[in-house]
Amino acid sequence: MSNNGIKRIRTICPWWACPSYDGVVATVDVANNKIIKMEGDKDHPQSKGYACPKGLNDWQVIYHPKRFTKPLLRTPSG
């Protein structure tokens, strides 16, 4: 399922609290190694194309400019 550096990967909802593990399809830009879209997987036997808004948008946290990328350390000043 790849086309012009774009790859579609079938997986499950990345949101840990999702009780039904909705099937989703992640569209990935292979050249930049970035997710560019998530959508419900119509072929998933349980969710049949449905995916909750949290799961469909949770991937955007990865690319947020204010995301913590290192552990925070407490200093003597607080």
Query: 10-61, pLDDT tens digit by residue?
Result: 888 766 666 667 788 888 888 888 988 888 888 888 888 888 888 788 888 8
Integer angstrom CA distances of residue 34 from 4, 9, 30: 14, 12, 7
Q: Among 76, 78, 22, which Cα is nearest to 50's?
A: 22
Question: Given this model, what pLDDT does residue 46 score?
Answer: 80
Give pLDDT, residue 65. 92
Task: Give, in degrees to the nearest 5, the angle at Cα 44 between 39 and 49.
Answer: 40
- Residues 6 or more apart whose CB falls under 8 angstroms from that of 53 comprise none
Q: What is the pLDDT of residues 61-72, one digit of tens each?
A: 888 999 998 998
Note the helical H segments in the chain.
53-57
User: Can you list the domains of the chain with their CATH numbers?
Assistant: 2-63 (2.20.25.90)
The answer to whether the CB of 31 falls within 8 A of the CB of 25 is no
